[in-house]
Amino acid sequence: MLRKKSLATLILAMWIIFAIPFQVNASRMRPKYKDKNKVSAQMSTSAVESEYIKLEDNSSRYAYNILVKNSDKWIQTTSVQKRQICGYKIKVLIDNVDYDIINLQMGVEKEIIPDVTLTLNATFTNQGQFIKIEYVIKNYSNRSYKINIATYSNVSIDNKISTKITPFTNGFGFKATQGNIEDLELNFIVGKNINVTNTDSIWCGEKVDVDANLFSSGRCCSCSGDVAIAYAWKDKVLLPKSNLNCSTLVGVGQVSGSPEILVTTPSSLSNTFYAGQTYGIKGLVFGTNNIEGTRVYYSIDNGDKILAHTFDDKKGSFVSDFKIPPNLSEGIHRIDFFAEDKYGMISSTQIVLIVVKKETCTVIFESNGGSSVEDFTKVSIGSKILPPKPPTKQGFDFVGWYKDSECNYKWDFENDKVEENTKLYAKWKKQTATVSQIPSQINSPELVSIVVPQGAFDESVEMRLAYAPNYLDLFKEHLNFKNLFALDINIFGVNTGAKVQPNEGKSVQITLPVPKELLHQKDKIKVALLKDNEIEILDSEIIFIDDVCCIRFFANHFSPYAFYIEKDIEIIKDDKMPKAQSPTAENTADKIKNSYDEKSPKTNDDTNAFPLFICLTSSGIAFFIIKEKKS
């Protein structure tokens, strides 16, 4: 019995030793899911307030409530019913199924359906005069949803049914006023502001009609009495593992505080505008008490707003410009001009309709003595062009295309755009031939030179010499001699880095000092070339440069070379003799690698831990049994 218990204990211990590390590693691999009820660091209180405005949350019937301050008194913007604070409601449609959102707490995610949550955030902008209300819908699932979200409420400042709702003329908000409270104005900004997300629909009217018009567009010219508002974002796609952010501004300001704008130019359809070009605008901003920091914007076809002008101190006229996008299609397009002050108040929009045409131009390529390059015609103004095929010029390397005839300013094909008829100029650099590598076995390396005739290569080149004793056997298969010095001579393109040969019919002149091994019979030194396993004897001559004996020869092919003593020559001719393979860095490296691979174990082979575990466990059990028998 004791032996069985001991044996069981040993097996259990071995299993724990093996399993614990596995469990630890496995736990590290598990995804950590976000706690959807965790309070955000941004807001954790039940109310946020500034000197002007306050937002309260956590109502049992509503999403939140807004209060404004007047004469040091907090005033509700919605009515009081049965001692219950009325407020602003939120309705969310997820795949056309509606959910009423109540009892929110700022900064805390509230689950709507499994894996989809809503968070209410509130921050202040414009020196605390406006509060930014943000709705963040998060999708933790791996599927997409269609989302509609609406905010709506009856509006009754200080519980007075005489509240008046006036829509902004540009359609991106409302103004709520109460006649008995002097100079108090509550502004709802739901579009055309850097701090908000443009809504898809806005509505205002009588309170009894609000529920039926949450996702509808419509407004009365000026509603008063028991009124309500609604605005919504519709048909948004909530992608897997993503967020949807929608925001508005609510704040206080003067009734007369909204700026107004008048644009005098451009003057409408009487002028033609060309895609890609820039045009001037003139206008006037007035009717605002907060002109400092007021900005003028424009947008084309309800696109993104673009800043045109910012006022420094006083209102009045402005001069600026706007650009027609290069890709704008031909036809009639709409430009909206509007102004926005530093508190977020926006003006009515002045709409200008313009006729846009596509204007084209020509790009001429001046090759400066090189081969001709075809001009680019019908290039759209404001567009980029692709580089043409590079021209060629004998004895020169092509550097690039330049904007000026002196070739000081290079054309940037990735960034530069064609704005008018343009001429580009080719820049050339005279081809050169240099020596970049000389083996130590050659004395007086400064005397090594290469002379390249015009047209021998299509680019600048460099010659590289390498001492090659491994070529001796190759030459001995064809020549019977003793005195030999072998070189590997190669030519490389400077621009491409590739090995090159002279163009057909061209040869280069090479000069280098005679190797010291052959100086004893320098008058009889000759040069041999091994080409296609055939020996070719080159014409050469002995010259002296600064009292140094040098050999000069012409070559039109680059491969193994040998310098030899003439009297030792005896060419071996045997058509049956197999051709030797020239040793190269590539095949030598392959042989070394293959040999190494055959002898070396693979370091990335997978190792199965289970047999090792079985082996250790069996050894432990056997040891224990032997010990028990002995005892």
Specify whether 482 is located in the same domain as 561.
yes
Rounded to an integer, what distance in angstroms lies between the CA atom of residue 344 and that of residue 84?
Answer: 32
pLDDT digits (tens, 9 = 90+) for 372-425: 999 998 887 778 899 999 998 888 889 999 999 999 999 999 999 888 889 999
CATH assignment of the domain containing 466: 2.60.220
pLDDT digits (tens, 9 = 90+) for 75-125: 878 876 544 456 888 999 999 999 998 888 888 999 999 999 999 999 887
Most confident of 172-181, 223-232, 566-575: 223-232
CATH assignment of the domain containing 214: 2.70.98.40
Q: Is the dihedral of CA 216, 222, 224, 229 positive or negative?
A: positive
Residue 385: CB atoms within 10 A of its CB come to: 17
b/e sequence 319-331, b meaning 16+ C-beta within 10 Å: ebebbbebebeee
Q: Are 286 and 274 in contact (CB under 8 A)?
A: no
pLDDT digits (tens, 9 = 90+) for 478-508: 766 667 788 888 889 888 888 888 888 888 9
Task: Tell how far CA 597 is from the center of its chain.
Answer: 42
Most confident of 173-182, 238-247, 574-583: 238-247
Q: Are 501 and 491 in contact (CB under 8 A)?
A: yes
Residue 181 binned pLDDT confidence (cut-offs 50, 70, 90): low
Token pair, residue 23, equals: 């469990």
Looking at the domain assignment, is residue 27 inside a domain? no
Rounded to an integer, what distance in angstroms lies between the CA atom of residue 361 and that of residue 581?
Answer: 59
Token pair, residue 391, equals: 């021209």
pLDDT at 362 over 70: yes
Specify whether 207 is located in the same domain as 247.
yes
Choosing from 252, 284, 306, the residue where a domain stops is 252
Q: Are 164 and 223 in contact (CB under 8 A)?
A: yes
H helix count then E strand count, the chain:
4, 42
Specify whether 197 is located in the same domain as 217.
yes
Q: Which of 292, 291, 188, 302 is nearest to 247 (CA)?
A: 188
Specify whether 210 is located in the same domain as 344.
no
pLDDT digits (tens, 9 = 90+) for 515-550: 887 887 777 788 888 777 777 888 888 899 988 999
For 617, list phi and psi in degrees, rounded to 5. Answer: -65, -45
Looking at the domain assignment, is residue 117 inside a domain? yes
Helix ranges (H only) for 100-196 are: none
Specify whether 81 is located in the same domain as 217.
yes
Specify whether 149 is located in the same domain as 184.
yes
DSSP string, 237-275: EE-TT-EEEEEEEEEE--TT---EEEEEES-STTSEEET
Average pLDDT along the chain: 77
- Residue-level pLDDT at 291: 65
Structure-model confidence comparison of residues 445 and 557, the more confident one: 445
Q: Is the dihedral of CA 597, 603, 605, 607 positive or negative?
A: positive
Choosing from 376, 401, 425, the residue where a domain stops is 425
Specify whether 194 is located in the same domain as 323.
no
Choosing from 526, 555, 574, the residue where a domain stops is 574
Token pair, residue 229, equals: 């508002």
Residues 6+ apart with CB under 8 A from 454: 394, 395
Element (H, E) at 627: helix 609-630
Looking at the domain assignment, is residue 545 inside a domain? yes
Specify whether 409 is located in the same domain as 474.
no
- pTM, full prediction: 0.43
Looking at the domain assignment, is residue 15 inside a domain? no
Query: What is the β-pairing status of strands 243-252 and 433-437?
Result: unpaired
- Residue-level pLDDT at 18: 45
Task: Tell how far CA 195 is from the center of its chain.
Answer: 25
b/e sequence 33-51, b meaning 16+ C-beta within 10 Å: eeebeeeeeebeeeebbbe
DSSP letter at 479 equals B
Specify whether 300 is located in the same domain as 391.
no
Specify whether 276 is located in the same domain as 187.
no
- Residue-level pLDDT at 361: 85
Residue span of the structural domain in which 443 resides: 433-574
CATH assignment of the domain containing 338: 2.60.40.10
Query: What is the β-pairing status of strands 116-125 and 110-113?
Result: antiparallel
Looking at the domain assignment, is residue 510 inside a domain? yes
Residue 20 binned pLDDT confidence (cut-offs 50, 70, 90): very low
Task: Tell how far CA 359 is from the center of its chain.
Answer: 31
Q: Is the dihedral of CA 488, 493, 496, 499 positive or negative?
A: negative
- Residue-level pLDDT at 351: 87
Looking at the domain assignment, is residue 168 inside a domain? yes
The packing angle between helices 609-630 and 2-29, to 10°, is 160
Task: Tell how far CA 75 is from the center of its chain.
Answer: 49
- Residue-level pLDDT at 29: 34
pLDDT digits (tens, 9 = 90+) for 446-467: 999 999 888 888 888 999 988 8
- Residue-level pLDDT at 424: 96
Rounded to an integer, what distance in angstroms lies between the CA atom of residue 351 and that of residue 148?
Answer: 30
Looking at the domain assignment, is residue 56 inside a domain? yes
pLDDT at 45 over 50: no
> How many distinct structural domains can be found in the chain?
4
Residue 233 binned pLDDT confidence (cut-offs 50, 70, 90): very high
Q: Which of 211, 228, 249, 218 is nearest to 176 (CA)?
A: 228
Amino acid (1-letter code) at residue 416? D
Rounded to an integer, what distance in angstroms lies between the CA atom of residue 47 and that of residue 107?
Answer: 11
pLDDT digits (tens, 9 = 90+) for 314-353: 667 889 988 888 888 888 999 999 888 776 677 778 888 8
Specify whether 325 is located in the same domain as 410.
no
Specify whether 111 is located in the same domain as 245.
yes
Classify the phi-psi angles of 43: left when phi > 0, otherwise alpha if psi is within -120 to 50, otherwise beta.
beta
**Bridge partners for 351 per DSSP:** 336
Q: What is the average pLDDT across 572-578?
A: 41
Amino acid (1-letter code) at residue 560? P
CATH assignment of the domain containing 374: 2.60.40
| Lowest mean pLDDT across 15-29, 148-162, 195-209, 248-262 | 15-29
pLDDT digits (tens, 9 = 90+) for 134-160: 999 999 999 999 999 999 988 887 766
Token pair, residue 78, equals: 């919605």
Cα–Cα separations (whole angstroms), residue 53 to 135, 162, 250, 333, 446? 19, 21, 9, 40, 85
Looking at the domain assignment, is residue 4 inside a domain? no
| Lowest mean pLDDT across 99-108, 441-450, 614-623 | 614-623
- Residue-level pLDDT at 339: 86
Query: What is the β-pairing status of strands 484-493 and 449-451?
Result: unpaired
Rounded to an integer, what distance in angstroms lies between the CA atom of residue 623 and that of residue 115?
Answer: 55
Per DSSP (E only), the strands in 566-622 are none
